[in-house]
Every structure is written in structure tokens, then in C-alpha cells.
Amino acid sequence: MQVNTINKGVKTAKMAEMTIGIIKAFVVGGALCGLAQVIIDKTGLTPARVLVAYVCSGVLLTAVGVYRPLVEFAGAGATVPLTGFGYSLAKGTAKAIDEHGAFGIISGGLSGTAAGITAAIVLGFIAALIFPSQPKFRNLVSRNSTRKSQNEQN
């Protein structure tokens, strides 16, 4: 009976910890996105430049020792935004230099991000093969009618 209550207590504590973790991720991730929106609205920076700036900032913030504590604090809130990509690049570089010396300078960054890059380009390629490029594809009805008219043309 007592064991049951203790187990229940542990379970509740774990649930509370996870809820807080999810809220932290929401707030930190949201803040990083909100900041990007302010930059876009105020400076008119193009989305591609924002992405590049975020990745480079991630490397810089990891280099000065700010980003690692943020990842430990916010989890996915810090790793999911593109600054997290920069964090993985920098983390991979440091790890590779620790293990292999100077060789790590050229091998570490891409090793640290290999899974993400591979997933994006392989899945992207497969998707580009599967999905049609008609802009009206969103609407299933119009999709069928375009197909029909294409068949008639053929």
C-alpha cells in the first residue's frame, strides 16, 4: 500500500517535471521565433538570410558558452530552432578536435549535423519525386480536374 503511494508520488513528480520542460521549450522556442519576426519586420531581411544568420549565431553563441546552458534548460526549445543547428555544428567541431586534434576542424561540423542534413536532402528528394508541382494541388477536387484535363489533352 505504502509502496503504491510512493510510486504514485514519483509518477506525479515526473509528470510535473515533464510539463515544466514542455512549457520551457514553448517559451524559449517561441522567443527565438518572435525575435526573428521582429528582425524581419524591422529590417526587411529575407527569410533565407534570417536562416543563415540564425545558424551562424548558433555557432557563435555556442562558442562563447551561452547556448549549451540554454539547451540544458529548454531542450527542444533550443535545439529545434535553426540556432540549434549551429549548436550541433559547433558541438561536433569541439568534440572532433578533442578526439582527433586539428583534423577535427574540418571533419567535426558536418559530422555533428550529418543526420539532420541527410534527412532533409533524402526526404526532400523523395518528396520532390512523389508530389506534383501544380500550385493548386492543395484542393483535391481541382487536382482531379487538372488530371482529367491533362488526360483529355493526351
Binding another protein (rule: CB under 8 A), the pick from 131, 141, 152, 153 is 131
Binding another protein (rule: CB under 8 A), the pick from 43, 137, 142, 145 is 137
Output the CA torsion sign for 36, 42, 48, 53. Answer: negative
What phi and psi values does residue 101 have, to the nearest 5 degrees? 70, -145
Binding another protein (rule: CB under 8 A), the pick from 13, 123, 147, 150 is 123
Instruction: Kindly identify the residues of this chain, within the stretch 94-113, that bind another protein according to CB under 8 A.
Output: 94, 96-97, 101-102, 104-106, 108-110, 112-113
Instruction: Kindly identify the residues of this chain, within the stretch 38-97, that bind another protein according to CB under 8 A.
Output: 38-42, 47-48, 50-52, 54-56, 59-60, 62-63, 74-77, 79-82, 84-86, 88-90, 92-94, 96-97
Cα separation, 153 vs 114, whole angstroms: 45
**Rounded least distance, CB 121 to another protein, Å:** 6
Binding another protein (rule: CB under 8 A), the pick from 120, 144, 148, 150 is 120
Cβ proximity to another protein: between 10 and 119 the closer is: 119
Binding another protein (rule: CB under 8 A), the pick from 7, 12, 37, 142 is 37
Cα separation, 13 vs 40, whole angstroms: 41
Longest dimension (CA), the chain: 77
Q: Helix 47-63 and helix 2-43: axis angle, to 10°? A: 120
Cβ proximity to another protein: between 9 and 30 the closer is: 30
Q: Decide: residue 121, CB within 10 A, 0-12 exposed, 13-18 middle, 19+ buried.
A: exposed
Q: Decide: residue 90, CB within 10 A, 0-12 exposed, 13-18 middle, 19+ buried.
A: buried
